[in-house]
Amino acid sequence: MHIHTISAYETSAERFFGKLADWEAELVLDTRLKNTNQLAGFTKRDDLAFFVERVAHARYVHDKLFAPAPTKLERYLRGSIDWDAYADAYRKDLRERGAVERFFERYGDCGSVVLVGTATRTRRSHTEVLARMLEEALRR
């Protein structure tokens, strides 16, 4: 299994779908907590589901099991906690949810998975933490 991360922010549709094609994505797993806002543009949940199927010929799933806890996300976005504290809290949440095991139960048959997150030029995304945890599990 190949695991990739992509941001729904600060990207064009051409670049976004070009990466999905390059990675031969089978599953686009949207891990964003909030993905229905008009500001999300073409990556708004229902639009992205349509485009992923039609343009990338992949399956789209929005799975909140892998989204960060709202309170911790807000604290990180406001600058109340730094990246390391946020990443540690997110790792802990994933372990408590049994998320890594459940990921492989739900999506383990996919050869190429793309995790959709919210990185920007100035902000990192929880998907890099999730990807690292999934890759570590694959190596075991």
Residues in the chain, pLDDT under 50: none
Q: Token digits for 124? A: 């990192």
Instruction: Give the separation between CA 60 and CA 49, rounded to whole angstroms.
Output: 5
Contact status, residue 89 vs residue 69, Cβ threshold 8 Å: yes
User: For position 39, what pLDDT does the model report?
Assistant: 63
| pTM of the model as a whole | 0.94
Q: Where on the phi/psi map is residue 98: left (φ > 0), alpha (ψ -120 to 50), or beta?
A: left
SS3 33: coil
Q: What is the pLDDT of residue 90?
A: 97
Chain segment 53-67, per-residue pLDDT in tens: 999 999 999 999 999
Separation in Å, CA 57 to CA 30, 47, 54, 84? 16, 14, 6, 36
Phi/psi-derived region of residue 29, left when phi > 0, alpha when psi is between -120 and 50, beta in every other case: beta
